[in-house]
Structure 1
Amino acid sequence: MSPVLHGRPVVIIGGGVIGISIAFHLAERGYRDVTVLERGLIGEGATAHATGGIRQQFTSEVNVRLVRDSVQFFARFAERTGSPFTFRQHGYLFLLTDQQQLAAFTAAAEMQRRHGVPTELLAPEDVSRLNPQIRVDDLVGAAYCATDGSASPHDAVQGFAKAARAHGVRIHQHTEVVAIETADGAVSGVRTAAGERLAAELVLIATGPQARETGRLAGVDLPVGPHRRQAFAIDALPWLRPDQPLTVDLGSGAYLHPETGGAVIGGNDRDVPEGTDTTVDWSLTEPLIEALVHRFPAMAEASIVRGWAGLREMTPDDHAVVGPLAVPGLWAAAGFSGHGFMQSPAIGDQLARWLLDGNPTIDLSALRADRFNTDQLAVEGVRF
């Protein structure tokens, strides 16, 4: 394939971790005529409410490969961007409670290992060596990857932004795009609420939960909807350590994410209907605690100290929309369905390769926008 860009301006709408990563990777490759437009402050939208998990354990190959490459980048983040960054590779542990889950994770682990991800399948009795507080008598097995982990989405955005600016990228905050303009059927630029017009060879939508409304500025309907996602912080417990794996009980969907001074818990709100309400639903705490106490009996002593909610951008198949849209010159990187932060370095790298070389090294066809008009939807089995 031929390069998509020909030296003219690029406008990225959205200053979350995806948009800023793309800008950084383009500039790192020498393409400096890039402007990021963010209606608020960079990283204060969906990115600000992400819990920071980074896992390679997916059933979809494209998801595995994207996070695998992102893990490699996160491990060298300070070297690549010049900003300090802490990537804690404490691992992810999925607890399996029935044979169907075990079969799916067995097949997924084989695929993950083919792509260089060191996933292990554990017998129930082996789970206790990772965390002796886990109840294992009703488990059929577990899946564990030691190179999974977590990091700060805020630090990632700021590090990408600082390096992008140093390479010449312009980042405009408090700048809302109100129109995507076309000429001769192709994108020609954008107009802001302040009346400023920016010419562009390519406009890329990276507005997360607002991607659908951004697409409509160009007459494109993106199948991306906002859904509330919430989490809670608990105080420190004597047995909790930050080096313990982030543990997901697939039977209930509840997770425990140990951190210094406590932990983050959540995971029982996947079926919240589409909407933009970010009020914390405290009624979900009781069933969440019950599920966690079943799996971690010592959690009976836990005390929730705060809760927060943000918006997660979901698509019908839990995969992102990445690539060109129906209007020439209009592209998207949105709809990451809770996986945007953990995939952001690889998405930036792959889009830079696609736009500048015409040749991404990961097959992104499963993420193409027109897949929703076919029966070729991607399938992701690890959801919580």
Structure 2
Amino acid sequence: MITGVSCLLFSLLIMCIGGNQFDPHLFPTTGPFFEGWYMRITDFDRRDSIGLLFGHVLPKQGINTSDPLVMASILRRENCQKKVCQLVSYNAMFTPDQTKVTVNGKPVISNPDDASLANFQFEMNSGSEGGLFTQNANSTTFDFRIGNLSLRGELGPSVPWAPNGGGPEGWLSHLPLPLHWFVYSLRSPLKIYDLTDIERKQTILGHHGVAHLEKNWGLSFPKAWIWAEGVSDYNKNISFALSGGLVQFSFFSLTAYLIGYRNPFENIDINFRPDNSVVVLQNDDCKREVNITARSLFYTLEINLFSTNSSFSSCLFGPQETGFRKACVESYDAVAKIQVYKASVLGVFVHKLIDKQTLTDIALEFGGTYDCGNMCMT
């Protein structure tokens, strides 16, 4: 599949909404609406990754649904063979009355703004399972119990996508899009975490690594999407993240991607959005490979993403109009081959290679109809 992105379609939308940030949004009186958070820890010592996601859904009005409306999941790599492991999800379901969300210690009464520092708590408790996620200005703490797994830890200050609360969407975040994606931190330093299998009395401890933190909100996950994220170790401090796919509006749909790449040692800090670039994507979801070329006025970014089928999870849950349903597959063992070109002094049509990297232990996700055989949509 080959897709192009045009900013012209976005110019049809001019109504603004509240700011785009990590804090919770005020839920509307009627659905559909959802909000969800995602964290991935990259442990440099163990060459391992642990994921955490949680969120809640207000279903479409008039729908009688049995789908869970509040969920939390711990993701871990298991069944390892030759250093490649399958991603496995441990899930817990909750009801809205088992959930408490606060901002600055008070109920949510307004949408977040760009400039304010994130300060919220998301708590869920069913008695046997539960979790508490606390985000303050300079730290993140989490304490979750799902099934026989316990995940606890603390992160240091965020490494934001952009100054002043800016995220991947830039000014597009103020448009009434059906779905929003915000990256709060590209690589928060890991202070400590422990993952415990309570039944087996086995504990994994880590304190040398980083964590990626992000959030989605809107009507529902799209019909089709690709998401990826990864970092290098402290020797280079490289990070990248991308998300996009088929975005459905009331009367039309379009394909759009948001991409960011950072290499501070080469002074590279570039973003690609529908208003400043054109993205061409070739996706072979059955072979688990994606080739992306993003072109802006001065930069071209080429990314080749791939992983083995055995490293991908079974269907993970995602927010839909009726609640959380099986929606996507993901791997923490993907590889990203990245090349960055910059326009030379000879003009914008002559580009020079300025950076070439291969990152391992990358997160790669195929969702909706972009998953091989639409496995998770049946």
TM-score range, shorter chain: under 0.3
Specify which structure has the bigger relative contact order, considering alpha-carbon pairs within 8 angstroms and separated by 6 or more residues: 1
Q: Which protein has the larger Cα radius of gyration, Structure 1 or Structure 2? A: 1
Between structures 1 and 2, the one with greater strand share:
2
Between structures 1 and 2, the one with greater helix share:
1
